Chain A
């Protein structure tokens, strides 16, 4: 697989919502490329007829009645909010 460029890393940082300056992007490109290269060893293994494994828990997902069974305590929910008012979270303006 091809190497990631600084611009590729910039795109990933943007997708991951991580602010990064140019020097950090360069440093990270090098480090991530090293790791991706190391992962190439997985291609030694023939996996053509193998079903991907999503969860090891051999458990059937349980169903429950579709009723409200929790909630009704907005103060607790908001107790760690960086900013809140009148029972709502406050965020920077998103609509002009």
Chain B
């Protein structure tokens, strides 16, 4: 493993600027890392030739004095973003060979700022999952291992490939999407930093639609500062997405380290759930102590409806998914399986094209939207969603940001929880409220558990206040001084 792959984005930008190495060399080092860590199955499509071409162009721009915010930085892209230079599969058989004729707004912004695309990463099919087990292209393996057993672990999901490749140092950062925790939970499981911004901060144009009122793009990196840089690049108003906000993007790369002095940090008691391991409880307390030592005031707050987020989510999201995924009909793009007539063709195409979990969600969504059940399920869930937003509004009258664990557990062995969908759904118990309410939220590594596996802390703030999320996150990062490397890399170095 080359030293270049261990740099932060910030340090790499400085190295490029000082001509210590070129973007081509930086990119080649990451291509080598991508190839030597193929056992993780983190990528669905590798794009080394494109990456080297973009890197060469980047070197020319830098030499010409036109360096962008991410000039020459090799990044990975979750395979939910449409890219015109590589297929976009959403990890589904139904889109296995889909070649988008256009580029998503978020990826376009990264390329405009000089970033290099190294590959498209693996995910749960249509981002529906918390383990990366539902991918048509096979599961992703977490670069981290437990010191208590020898089993391969999940990287979390749905953005499992993006989290794994940033952790394994085959990309300096990666794009993810987060509908209910799909960036934050895998960030926690892989010892990386992952942020989902405010709903409306990043354009959804060109992202494969899952649950449109919840889907948000976000980023993974290994430091809070790198996340601030990447998010700054890919945020901003887009007339092509009617829910994209026309609000100026702040210069987070200059405000992320403004500290927490005088800030009030809320600890919502409802996040203390039964059966949560003591070490997570302890880390949470430790996180609060760190912030207190840095000059913040810690206040206890209450969010009585937070515990209803998961069941409400599993009505709202499948409802929207059943509608969004109706477009896969075997006519305009994607897989087609011939049938006896048009309806038979639709039914056979969708039966063969979608995996088990996607079908389950389409069916639940179809049911909760059907005549006679709409009010009891769908409207009820939307009312609960309102109550969760009200909870957030109330707590943000008392504090500036919230601190919780990201997940009630750590990375678990591959194959576990597959026979119990509800157990899998509860993976997102701490991340779901911010998704339903559209709040910005980030996971930052806080330490390792007794088995040597990463644990994340989650920071949430008011809509459009990513700055507070970054400031609190940076303070945690500084205090935690998380320098542990995944076993995959320490093994390779040994």
Residues of A within 8 A of B (CB): 1, 4, 9, 12-13, 15-20, 28, 31-32, 34-36, 38-39, 41-43, 45, 47, 50-59, 61-62, 64, 76-77, 79-83, 89, 91-94
User: How far, in whole Å, are A4 and B28 apart by their CA atoms in the complex?
Assistant: 56
CA distance A51 to B334 in the complex (A): 39
Task: Judge whether A35 and B366 touch: CB under 8 Å.
Answer: no
A38 to B353: give the CA distance in the assembly, Å.
Answer: 28
Closest chain A residue to B359 by CB distance? Answer: A18
CB pair B384–A80 under 8 Å, yes or no, is no
Complex CA gap A92/B246 in Å reads 44
List of B residues within 8 angstroms of A79 by Cβ: 99, 101
The CA of A45 and the CA of B305, in the complex, are separated in Å by 9
Asked whether any CB of chain A lies closer than 8 Å to the CB of B145, the reply is: no
The answer to whether B383 and A52 have CB atoms under 8 Å apart is yes
Instruction: Assess whether B343 is interfacial by the CB under 8 Å rule.
Output: yes
Knowing A45-B305, A45-B384, the reply to whether A18 touches B101 (Cβ < 8 A) is: no
Which chain A residue shows the least CB distance to B340? A92
A16 lies within 8 A of B363 (CB): yes
Is the C-beta of B339 less than 8 angstroms from some C-beta in chain A?
yes
Task: Please tell me if the beta carbons of B421 and A31 are within 8 angstroms of each other in the complex.
Answer: yes
Residues of A within 8 Å of B346, CB to CB, are: 17
Can you list 6 A-B contacts (CB < 8 A)?
A16-B366, A19-B350, A34-B421, A50-B387, A80-B334, A92-B342
Decide if the interface of chain B is mainly helix, strand, loop or mixed. Answer: helix
Interface pair A9/B245, CB less than 8 Å apart: no
- Interface residue range, chain B: 35 or more
- Check if B311 sits within 8 Å of A53, measured CB to CB: no
Q: Which B residue sits closest to A50, measured CB to CB? A: B383
A40 to chain B, nearest CB (A): 8
The one of B200, B315, B360 in contact with A31, judged by C-beta atoms closer than 8 angstroms, is B360
B335: chain A residues within 8 A (beta carbon): 82
Contacts of B386 in A (CB 8 A): 50-53
State A39–B446 Cα separation when bound (angstroms). Answer: 33
Q: Is the CB of B362 within 8 A of A18?
A: yes
If the complex has contacts A15-B366, A17-B350, are A35 and B387 also in contact, measured as CB distance less than 8 A? no
A18–B347 touching, CB < 8 Å: yes
A96 to B379, CA, bound (A): 42
Q: What residues of chain A lie closer than 8 Å to B101, measured between beta carbons?
A: 76-77, 79-80
Cross-chain pair count, CB within 8 angstroms: 157
Contact with A along B327-353 (1 / 0, CB 8 A): 001111111101111111111101100
Interface of A is mostly: loop
Tell me, rounded to whole Å, the shortest Cβ–Cβ distance linking A9 to chain B: 7
Tell me the bound Cα distance from A52 to B315 in angstroms. Answer: 13
Check if B333 sits within 8 Å of A80, measured CB to CB.
yes
Which of the residues B347, B370, B384, B422 comes within 8 Å of A38, measured between beta carbons?
A: B422
- CB of A41 within 8 A of CB of B363, answer no
Besides the contacts A31-B360, A35-B360, A52-B386, what 16 more A-B pairs have beta carbons closer than 8 Å? A19-B344, A19-B347, A19-B348, A28-B359, A32-B367, A38-B422, A42-B312, A45-B305, A52-B383, A53-B382, A57-B199, A57-B200, A57-B243, A62-B239, A64-B239, A80-B333
Q: Please give me the 10 A-B residue pairs with the lowest Cβ-Cβ distance, nearest first.
A: A56-B438, A52-B382, A80-B333, A82-B336, A47-B383, A19-B347, A19-B351, A53-B386, A50-B383, A76-B101
Q: Are A56 and B389 in contact (CB under 8 A)?
A: yes
The answer to whether A55 touches B213, judged by C-beta atoms less than 8 angstroms apart, is yes
Q: Is the CB of A39 within 8 A of B360?
A: no
Residues of B within 8 A of A53 (CB): 382-383, 385-386, 389
Instruction: Output the nearest chain A residue to B367 by Cβ-Cβ distance.
Output: A12
Which of A42, A47, A76, A82 is B331 in contact with, Cβ under 8 Å?
Answer: A82
Quote the shortest CB–CB distance from A79 to chain B (angstroms). Answer: 6
Chain B residues 416 to 438 lying within 8 A of chain A, measured CB to CB, are: 421-422, 436-438
Shortest distance between the CB of A95 and any CB in chain B (Å): 10
- Tell me which residues from 237 to 272 in chain B have a Cβ below 8 Å from any Cβ of chain A: 239, 242-246
Report B-chain residues with C-beta under 8 Å of the C-beta of A54: 213, 382
Pairwise interchain contact B364-A32, C-beta atoms closer than 8 A: yes
- Taken residue by residue from 352 to 394, chain B's Cβ proximity to chain A (1 for < 8 Å, 0 otherwise) reads as 0010000110111011001000001101111111110100000
Instruction: Identify which of B244, B326, B381 contacts A42 (C-beta below 8 A).
Output: B381
Using Cβ atoms and an 8 Å threshold, which residues of chain B touch A94?
Answer: 341-342
B4 to chain A, nearest CB (A): 37
Question: Could you tell me the distance in whole angstroms from the C-beta of A58 to the nearest C-beta in chain B?
Answer: 7
Q: Does B308 sit at the interface, judged by CB under 8 A?
A: yes
Residue of B with least CB distance to A47 = B383
Tell me, in angstroms, the Cα distance from A62 to B330 when the chains sit together: 33
> A residues within 8 A CB of B387?
45, 47, 50
Closest B residue to A20 by CB, please name it. Answer: B351
- Answer yes or no: B458 CB below 8 A from chain A CBs: no
* Known A28-B363, A53-B382, A54-B213; contact A41-B308, beta-carbon cutoff 8 A: yes
Query: Given the interface contacts A47-B387, A82-B331, does A18 sit within 8 Å of B336 by beta carbon?
Result: no
Do B333 and A81 touch (CB < 8 A)?
A: yes
Interface string of B437-460 (1 = CB under 8 A from A): 110000000000000000000000
Closest B residue by C-beta to A80: B333
Q: Assess A59 versus B243: contact at CB under 8 Å? Given A17-B350, A41-B311, A91-B331.
A: yes
